[in-house]
Every structure is written in structure tokens, then in C-alpha cells.
Chain A
Amino acid sequence: MPKVNLTVNGKPVSADIEARTLLVTMLRETLKLTGTHVGCDTSQCGACVVHVDGKAVKSCTMLAVQADGARVVTIEGLATDGTLHPMQEAFRENHGLQCGFCTPGMIMTAVDLVNREGNELDEHAIREGLEGNLCRCTGYHNIVKSIAAGARAMKGKRRAA
């Protein structure tokens, strides 16, 4: 079985896994990081979005062996010392979630959007940026509000990898 070495949320991790193991499966089942969700399992819903080498990817559409040597950040890697990441805090403040299933992917996508496009995001940019993330409760309205607020709150703060 191939051996995979990764850095996950700043910690080196290694595992012997089948080549066909998806990155999301390794995160959830091998490393027990169940914050990353599997929604559709067909690259559409975005519940599985994590950052690989600083970029948002759908971890259900990437093999763990493809991430060998990479830095992976999951939703569990955003908070520091018990303090929520500004984007997480913004979702809490703005009622950006109801059932919460899509939230990890929404937040990882949102942080990636801020990293690419900066802290002042208008509604259009946010809605375009959420093209690959589906939510079945909120109608997106408060998610968009949360991301605009989170983006501003991230200004000058540490960038999540």
C-alpha cells in the first residue's frame, strides 16, 4: 500500500492507505477529522472543501496520494487556541448556518475567496465565489452576509494556509 505523508493543520501525518483512498476519506476515517463533510460525493456541493497548499479543493475529487507532500488545512485547523477564526465568528454572528452541514465547506471556500480577492467583497463576488457550494437551509442570504463580515474581520489577521 502506498505511504502518504502530509502536513494536516500544521502537524505532520503519515499513513499507509490504498491508492484509491480519497483525500476526504483519509481525513475523516484515518485521521478522524470529521469536520470535513461528504455531501454529494460528486464534486458539486462543496461540503468537502479543504485547502491544499493554500488553495481550496474538493477533497472528494482528489486522491490522498495526490496530496502526498502537501500542506492540508481543514476546518479544524482554522481556530487558534480556542478562539474562532474571524470567518467562523462571522458565520456565528450573522446566523450564516442552520443545520450546519455545508458550513465547513462554506467557510473554507470563503477564506480562500478572501485570500484571492481581498477583504472588501461585494455581494456579486461572494455569490460567484460560492458557485461550487450548496446550502439547503439558508437560501444563502446570511451566508453572503457572513462572508462579507468575515472578510472585513480578516483584515490584518493571520491568513489561514
Chain B
Amino acid sequence: MYDFSFHRPADLASAEGYLKAAEAKLLAGGQTLIPTMKQRLAAPKHLVDLSNVAGLTGIERKGRNLVIGAMTRHAEVAGSGVVNKAIPALGLLAEGIGDPAVRNRGTIGGSLANNDPSADYPAACLALDATIITNKREIGADEFFTGLFETALGADEIVTRVSFPVPIKAAYLKFPNPASRYALVGVFVAKDTDGVRVAVTGAGESGVFRVPAMERALSKKFSAKAVEGIKIDPSTLISDIHGSAAYRAHLVGVLARRAVETIAKTK
């Protein structure tokens, strides 16, 4: 790893100040960034650690929404009574990320800002129509994820909180890569009063995406049968040593059906 200057600001304004320097990068839980720096795939000159910045942690129910601070660790989300009461699927998703030691460090804000095409949280945000709140503005999930490891975040923008509208029911089904536990394919289905949203991670060449055909079918009739005939076009899906695009397209259908069945079974 190349050396860098390390900064540990105590508030958002100073964190933003450090980001004005050339080649500055934010450090949240570091479970992706540190390995990336070790491989010299990233070499920031300034590393701005958010762990001491006040007001970035915590989980609370605010009316219709579940609001999670950006620096909240995966283990905290997984073990939170508030999360598991409001959106149990989100708690289970967090419980399935990496391994226990990774979950003790990794954060929701870091995962979203990184937008790994195989990460779990982007699927939850997109299916639940979450709002990503930054030091400057609020960004809807549909606008936030803009491509492979790309987001709508500006260079001096910092994710502070994520607000999830609490759905009627939701489920996340993941086919984990047996070695990395990243999603080979993951499908998040959320059913709310105004319809159904289906988001897929692990499969898209441009990262997380929605499946409008499934959403329309499920909004009309919420049953596993409704999604059965719907084909996913493999031409924009990831193909690698772990699975071909055609296999991933098949998995999207299987996992979507299982997610709908899981929702149908929950009270």
C-alpha cells in the first residue's frame, strides 16, 4: 500500500474540507477500500476517516421511514430490533454480508457509495425506494446508482443517512458466491400500497437494476406464478468464471419467484 495522509475529523464540515484536497478519499468501514489500496488499485493521497464524525450512526424509526446512519455497521443493522421489526428482510440482508468480522467493520454508507455490482445493500435501496441523504441533498435510489462502482455522489459529497420507506412486506433472496459471499445474484422484492418493486444485484454489467416486467406482473397479481414466464435478457448481464450471463438470467427468475413465495408465507 502506498502511504497517504490520514485525517480523522470530528464533524462533517471538516470532513468536507479535507475532501477539497486532490486525491482525497473517504474511509468508512474500509472492508473494500483497504483491500483495494493493498492491491494498489487505489492510492489516495489523503484518507478521511469518518469514524469520529458525530451524527453518522444510529438506527431509528421516523414515522413511515426507517432511518439508518451511514456509518452504522452491518452487524448493528443485523442485530437491531428496530430494523427487524420494521423491515426484517433488511436485517437478514445485513446478516448475510461477508462474515462476522467484516460485518463488525463494514458500513451501509460505505457499501452504497462504493456501489459494487455484487453488493447487497444497493438492491435493498432500489427495491425499497430509499432516499440517500448526504451533506448536501437527498437523492432517490433510482437516481443514486448510475453504473458500475458509480453513483450520483459529487466529489465533496458525504452520505450521512439512508431513509427506507417501510413496505408492507419485503424479501431478499441471494445466491451467494460460495467463496466470497457476494451475491452471484440477489433479488430484493418489496410490496407496498402503491405497487411492487423488484431490484437485482450481482447480475447487471452496470450494477443494480430493476425489473419493470416483474413489477408490473406482481403489482397486478402478487403470486410466484405471475413472474414465471418473464425472461431476463442476458445481453447486459455479467458473465465470468462464477457463472455465465444466461445462468445469472435464470437465477434472477428463480430467486424472484422464491422471494415472492417467502413474502406470501410471512404474516
Residues of A within 8 A of B (CB): 2, 18-20, 22, 41-44, 46, 49, 55-58, 61-63, 65-66, 68, 109, 112-113, 116, 129, 131-133
5 residue pairs bridging A and B, Cβ less than 8 Å apart: A20-B1, A43-B35, A58-B102, A58-B105, A112-B101
- Set of chain A residues within 8 Å of B99, measured between Cβ atoms: 46, 131-133
Q: Which partner residue on chain A sits nearest B46 by CB separation?
A: A19
Minimum C-beta distance from B144 to chain A (A):
26
* Segment at the interface with A among B4-12, B152-160, B258-266: B4-12
Does residue B16 face the partner (Cβ distance < 8 Å to A)? no
Interface residues on B, range: 20 to 34
Does residue B98 face the partner (Cβ distance < 8 Å to A)? yes
Does residue B205 face the partner (Cβ distance < 8 Å to A)? no
The 8 A CB mask of B88-110 against A (1 = contact, 0 = none) is 00000000001111101100000
In contact, B181 and A57 (Cβ under 8 angstroms): no
- Set of chain B residues within 8 Å of A116, measured between Cβ atoms: 79, 100
The 8 A CB mask of B33-71 against A (1 = contact, 0 = none) is 011011000000001010100000000000000000000
In contact, B101 and A57 (Cβ under 8 angstroms): yes
With contacts A65-B6, A68-B8 taken as known, whether A55 is within 8 angstroms of B104 at the C-beta atoms is yes
Q: Which of B6, B30, B100, B179 contacts A56 (CB 8 A)?
A: B100
Minimum C-beta distance from B104 to chain A (A):
4
With contacts A43-B31, A62-B30 taken as known, whether A49 is within 8 angstroms of B101 at the C-beta atoms is yes
Minimum C-beta distance from B43 to chain A (A):
10
- Set of chain A residues within 8 Å of B240, measured between Cβ atoms: none
Minimum C-beta distance from A75 to chain B (A):
14
- Counting chain A CB atoms within 10 Å of each CB, the highest count among B49, B98, B99 belongs to B99
Q: Which partner residue on chain B sits nearest A1 by CB separation?
A: B3
In contact, B8 and A61 (Cβ under 8 angstroms): no
Minimum C-beta distance from B15 to chain A (A):
15
In contact, A132 and B35 (Cβ under 8 angstroms): no
With contacts A19-B47, A42-B35, A66-B49 taken as known, whether A58 is within 8 angstroms of B6 at the C-beta atoms is no
In contact, A132 and B102 (Cβ under 8 angstroms): yes
Minimum C-beta distance from A130 to chain B (A):
8
Minimum C-beta distance from A51 to chain B (A):
9
- Sample of 6 further A-B pairs with CB below 8 A, known A20-B4, A42-B38, A129-B100: A43-B102, A58-B105, A61-B35, A116-B79, A131-B99, A131-B100
Does residue B86 face the partner (Cβ distance < 8 Å to A)? no
The A-B contact count (CB < 8 A) is 73
Compute how far the CA of A92 lies from the CA of B27 in the bound complex, rounded to whole angstroms: 40
- Set of chain A residues within 8 Å of B30, measured between Cβ atoms: 61-63, 66
In contact, A2 and B6 (Cβ under 8 angstroms): yes
Minimum C-beta distance from A121 to chain B (A):
13
- Set of chain B residues within 8 Å of A49, measured between Cβ atoms: 101
Q: Which of B3, B35, B100, B181 contacts A18 (CB 8 A)?
A: B3
Minimum C-beta distance from A1 to chain B (A):
9
* Top 9 A-B residue pairs of the complex, sorted by shortest distance between their CB atoms: A132-B99, A19-B6, A131-B99, A55-B104, A20-B1, A20-B3, A56-B101, A58-B101, A65-B6
Does residue B249 face the partner (Cβ distance < 8 Å to A)? no
- Counting chain A CB atoms within 10 Å of each CB, the highest count among B8, B75, B104 belongs to B104
Q: Which partner residue on chain B sits nearest A41 by CB separation?
A: B38
- Set of chain A residues within 8 Å of B35, measured between Cβ atoms: 42-43, 61
Compute how far the CA of A133 lies from the CA of B99 in the bound complex, rounded to whole angstroms: 9
The 8 A CB mask of B104-140 against A (1 = contact, 0 = none) is 1100000000000000000000000000000000000
Compute how far the CA of A133 lies from the CA of B34 in the bound complex, rounded to whole angstroms: 19
In contact, B4 and A19 (Cβ under 8 angstroms): yes
Minimum C-beta distance from B255 to chain A (A):
21
